[in-house]
Amino acid sequence: MVDFVCEHKKGLDGKVLIDATNNFGAPSMNSWPDISKIVPNGHLYRAFNSLGVDVFANPELGGEKADLFYAGPDGAPNEKVERLIEDAGLRPIRVGGTEQVDVVDGVLRLWFTLAQSRGRRIAFKLISD
């Protein structure tokens, strides 16, 4: 991801960027710090990293649309990210701004832990009144 961003940084400046990488074994699960330095004017989001490919292929489980937790700036670019998540068949749940990227990575760690014993066709649902 970082190499791609470096190679195309001029074209990515000011664009909506979604970091969906999972850097297992690295100090950070995401590429957020590197990407934000390379493209400082990009609208960077952390999304599409906390569910398995089996869920993305069919995001309805038990008759319910799976939720996708994400983090990133508020404002107009956020609407594009939410539309993309909805177009993928998921319900977008924004956990907060850029300071919440690690929370989204925590959702990944929880999914990965549960998938080892329950299988990969699992997802999360936020329920509230």
Each residue of 85-95: pLDDT tens digit? 999 999 999 99
Which residues contact residue 126 at a Cβ distance below 8 angstroms, ignoring those fewer than 6 apart?
Answer: 67, 69, 93
Query: What pLDDT is recorded for position 89?
Result: 97
At 39, the pLDDT band (50, 70, 90 cuts) reads very high
Query: What pLDDT is recorded for position 51?
Result: 95
Query: What pLDDT is recorded for position 28?
Result: 84
Q: Indicate if the pLDDT at residue 11 is higher than 90.
A: yes
Query: What pLDDT is recorded for position 128?
Result: 92
Q: How far is the C-alpha of 45 from the C-alpha of 42, rounded, in Å?
A: 9
The mean per-residue pLDDT over the stretch 43-60 comes to: 95
2-118 domain in CATH 3.40.640.10?
no
pTM for the full model? 0.92
Query: What pLDDT is recorded for position 111?
Result: 96
Report helix, strand or coil for 52.
coil
Please name the residue that has the structure tokens 């993309």: 84
